[in-house]
């Protein structure tokens, strides 16, 4: 059967001192799948849009800033991740240079600068704890992973680095 996932981006904006990351605390839409969790910024790719442009657009829409330098850190396939069991495939980026004034919030929640060293103590998607160390690793390797979901929980995690 052909794999036809929703294509998306997930970006992590790094502070100028490289110690913090901008996260959204999804606290404005009670009852939604993401409510109460912290996450990077991003979203679905639009028709006739390349993935780089998608990431830049999502960062501008959600945080009000312009991406100047970003680096692909990896890709993740999430079969069964969606609310109704939809499959998702995301391109994961680090945004290392940006310009503009960061919003304090948006329609999904509050934007907060979190020390990278404290990410593990936040309420995150369970699966994020598996791949976030790869996103923030000092080396330049790119990872490609698959994390099947069922009933909102990751079932496994496998990845390769290049």
Q: Give the per-residue pLDDT at 93.
A: 98
* Of the candidates 71, 76, 77, the residue with the CA atom closest to the CA atom of residue 141: 71
pLDDT surpassing 80 at residue 76: yes
Q: What pTM did the predictor assign?
A: 0.94
pLDDT digits (tens, 9 = 90+) for 94-110: 999 999 999 999 999 99
Task: Please compute the mean of the pLDDT values over residues 4-21 and round it to a whole number.
Answer: 97
Q: What are phi and psi of 128, to 5 degrees?
A: -60, -30
Residue 66 host element (H or E): strand 66-78
* Confidence label for 33 from pLDDT (cuts 50, 70 and 90): low
Sort 13 into a burial class: Cβ within 10 Å, 0-12 / 13-18 / 19+: buried
* Of the candidates 120, 122, 98, the residue with the CA atom closest to the CA atom of residue 37: 122
Domains in the chain: boundaries: 6-156
Helix segments in the chain, DSSP class H: 51-63, 128-135
pLDDT digits (tens, 9 = 90+) for 150-159: 988 999 999 9
* Of the candidates 38, 135, 37, the residue with the CA atom closest to the CA atom of residue 145: 135
Q: Give the per-residue pLDDT at 119.
A: 95
- The CATH code belonging to domain 6-156 is 3.90.79.10
The alpha carbon of residue 72 and the mean position of all alpha carbons in its chain are separated, in whole angstroms, by 12
83-96 CB burial, b ≥16 within 10 A, e <16 = eeeebbbbbbbbbb
């Amino acid at each position: 059967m052909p794999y036809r996932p929703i294509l998306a981006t997930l970006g992590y904006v790094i502070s100028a001192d490289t110690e913090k990351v901008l996260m959204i605390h999804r606290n404005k839409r009670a009852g939604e799948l993401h409510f109460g969790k912290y996450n990077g910024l991003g979203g679905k790719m639009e028709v006739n849009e390349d993935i780089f442009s998608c990431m830049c657009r999502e960062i501008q829409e959600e945080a009000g800033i312009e991406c100047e330098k970003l680096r692909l850190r990896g890709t993740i396939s999430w079969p069964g991740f969606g609310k109704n069991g939809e499959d998702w495939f995301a391109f994961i980026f680090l945004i290392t240079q940006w310009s503009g004034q960061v919003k304090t919030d948006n329609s999904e929640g509050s934007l907060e600068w979190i020390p990278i060293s404290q990410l593990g103590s936040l309420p995150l998607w369970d699966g994020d704890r598996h791949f976030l160390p790869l996103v923030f690793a000092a080396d330049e390797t790119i990872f490609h992973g698959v994390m099947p979901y069922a009933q909102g929980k990751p079932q496994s995690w496998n990845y390769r680095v290049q």
